[in-house]
Amino acid sequence: MGLPAVLRRRWSSRYILCSAAGLYIVICFLFDMPLLSSKLPNYTGKYDVGTIDIEAPCARRNVSDLVFTNTGKPAFELETVLFSLYYPAVDKVRSQKSHLWVPKPLSLTAEGYARFAKINNFLTNSVFTVALWTLVGSTKIPAQVDVPLHGTVKTYQDYQKEHPSDDDDGLPRFPVIVFSHGMASSRTSYTQYCGELASRGFIVAAIEHRDGSGPGSVIMSTDGSTTNRFLARPSELQPEPAMEDYKATGLAFRQAEIEETVRVLREINEGSGKAVYTANSRKEGVDLAEWRGRLMMDRMVLAGHSYGATGALRALKGAPSAERPFVGGIILDPGKSSGPLNDDINVPTMIIHSSSWSKKLTIFHGQPHFAVVKAVAEKILNERHKFAWFMTAKGTTHPSVTDAPLIEPMLLSWTTGATINVREGVLQYVKATQDFMRFLADGQRQGVLKEEVTHPEYDHDIRDDARRAAMNKEIEKYWQIHVAPSTACPYPGLCGIVPD
C-alpha cells in the first residue's frame, strides 16, 4: 500500500521545502504581499486617507558652523524642508501611484543602516540593499497619493449630499499635527500612526529631518540637483563637537525644520497652495490650491517620538508663538540620551511612555529618567496650570508606535519583548492622541484622559477595590496613569478653574 515510486521520491523533505517556498512566493505574488514581512494594514477611521510628499525650499541658512571633515561642506545648512502630509481624502478615489515604505533609492537607506552599524563598505552596503529589498522592498504605504482633500470644492456637492449636517458654515476644516521622528528614522517610520490619525479627521505633517540623525535622506533642490544626507557622527565633523553640543545643534536644526514646516502649512492654508506645488521638488500636491482655509492653524499640535519627543519639548518653549503656533504637545518616549528635557511649557501636554521606557531604571542627568519625565508633566500641571498627563502604554516597547512591529511582528517581539498585539499597540497611541485632540477642541475629557492617577510610580497601583472594579476595562488593560489633572480639582489651590 506504499506510494508509487515516482511520488515517494518526490515527497522528499527537500522537495516539500522547495514546494512550500514556491507556493509561498506565488501566494505573496498573487496577494501583492512583500516576501518576508507583513503588509501594512488599511486604516480604520471613517475617512479615506491621502498622502503628499512636500519638499519646499527654505531661506537658506547655516544653523551651525560645523562642516563635514571629509568634504568641508556645511553639516547643518538648511536648504529645503521635507515632509509627508497624511490627510482625510475624498471618498473612494484611488491613485495610480503609491508611496513605498522605503523611499527610493533603497540603497541609500541600506547604506544609512550600514553606517549606523559602523560596517559601511561596498560589500555590506550591497548585502544590506539586497536584504532590505527582500524584506520590505515592495512594502507600500496604504494611502492614496495626491488625491483631493476631503470636501474640496470639486467634490463639495457630493460631499454635501453625503454629509448634510457635517458642516453648516463652509467646507470642513481639520486640526493639524506636526510630527517629528526619532533617531535612525525617517518620514515613513510612523505611517500607521499618522495614517490612522488622518482617517480620523486630522492633517498630519510627518517631517523628515536632515540633521544627520536618520539613516539617509535625499535633499532635492528645485533645480533637480540632489544631495544625500547620511548619519553624521561628531567625529565626522569639524571642529569636532562635544556630544552635548552635537545634540543641541541637531535639535536646533530640527526646530528650524519644524518652523519651516509650519510656514509651508500656513502658506497652503492662506491660499498659496499652487505656489507650494510649483516649488515642490517632489512634484506632488496638484490640488493644494484647494486647501485654502482648510487647516485649523489655531488647533495645531506638535508631536514627537524619542529624539523627536525631546525636540518637541524644546520647540514647545514659548509656544504658542508666530513661528510655533502649537496649542498642545504629544510627547512619546522622550529620549533617554538626547539631552536635557525642556520643562518650560505653557500648553496642554500629553506624555506617553512605552512600558520598556518606564520599566527600566535609567539614570538621566543624575535622576531616574521616569522621575525626570514625571517632573516635566507635574511642572506644566501644577506650576503653569495647563492640563498635563504622563502615562505608560502597557505591554509596549520603544518601537511600538513605529511601523516596524507591524512589518516585522515576529522579529520585533522577539528582540524587544513587546507583549501587546502590534496593531493594538499603535491603535492605543492613536486613540489617546484622538482623546487629547478632542480635549483641546472642547475641554471634554474622554477615554484614558477621563481617568484619575492610577499608578503614581510605574507598577505602583494605588486604586482600591471599588475603583478598580469601576474602572473602564479597556483603559485598565492598556494604561497606567502617573500624572493627570484631578477631575475634582485640576490644579491644587485653584479648584474649579478650567484652562482657557
What the block records as the C-alpha cell of 463 is: 486604586
53 is catalytic: no
Provide the minimum distance between the beta carbon of 59 and ligand NAG in the complex, in angstroms, as a whole number: 9
What the block records as the C-alpha cell of 325 is: 503656533
Alpha carbon distance 482, 299 (integer Å): 26
Indicate the residue among 13 and 70 with the shorter CB distance to ligand NAG: 70
| Among the residue ranges 18-26, 58-66, 147-155, 446-454, the one whose residues contact ligand NAG (CB under 6 A) | 58-66
Which residues 129-188 are close enough to bind ligand NAG by CB under 6 A? none
Q: What 3-state DSSP class applies to 403?
A: coil
321 is catalytic: no
- Residue 219's identity, in one-letter code, is I
**Can you say whether the dihedral through the CA atoms of 278, 281, 283, 288 is positive or negative?**
negative
Provide the minimum distance between the beta carbon of 63 and ligand NAG in the complex, in angstroms, as a whole number: 9
107 is catalytic: no
Binding of residue 260 to ligand NAG (CB under 6 A): no
- Binds ligand NAG by CB under 6 A, chosen from 8, 10, 46, 61: 61
Alpha carbon distance 75, 71 (integer Å): 10
CB-based burial label for 284 (10 Å; 0-12, 13-18, 19+): buried
Provide the minimum distance between the beta carbon of 212 and ligand NAG in the complex, in angstroms, as a whole number: 15
- The residue with cell 511612555 is 353
Indicate the residue among 77 and 284 with the shorter CB distance to ligand NAG: 77
Binding of residue 74 to ligand NAG (CB under 6 A): yes
- Provide the strand spans (E) within 322-478: 326-332, 349-354, 363-364, 367-368, 388-393
| Among the residue ranges 54-62, 121-129, 182-190, 330-338, the one whose residues contact ligand NAG (CB under 6 A) | 54-62
Count of residues engaged in binding ligand NAG, rule: CB under 6 A:
6
Binding of residue 77 to ligand NAG (CB under 6 A): yes
| Among the residue ranges 55-63, 187-195, 240-248, 278-286, the one whose residues contact ligand NAG (CB under 6 A) | 55-63
| Among the residue ranges 61-69, 84-92, 194-202, 408-416, the one whose residues contact ligand NAG (CB under 6 A) | 61-69
Task: Answer for the pair 172, 69: CB distance below 8 angstroms, yes or no.
Answer: no
Provide the minimum distance between the beta carbon of 61 and ligand NAG in the complex, in angstroms, as a whole number: 5
Indicate the residue among 72 and 496 with the shorter CB distance to ligand NAG: 72
Q: Which one is catalytic: 138, 185, 306, 354?
A: 306
- Provide the strand spans (E) within 193-270: 203-208, 217-220, 226-229, 237-238
Beta bridge partners of 332: 305, 352
Task: Answer for the pair 402, 190: CB distance below 8 angstroms, yes or no.
Answer: yes
DSSP 450: G
Q: Which one is catalytic: 333, 343, 403, 435?
A: 333
Q: Which one is catalytic: 181, 305, 398, 455?
A: 398
Alpha carbon distance 78, 263 (integer Å): 14
Binding of residue 62 to ligand NAG (CB under 6 A): yes
- Residue 497's identity, in one-letter code, is I
Binding of residue 57 to ligand NAG (CB under 6 A): no
Rule CB under 6 A: which residues touch ligand NAG? 60-62, 67, 74, 77
Residues labelled catalytic: 306, 333, 398
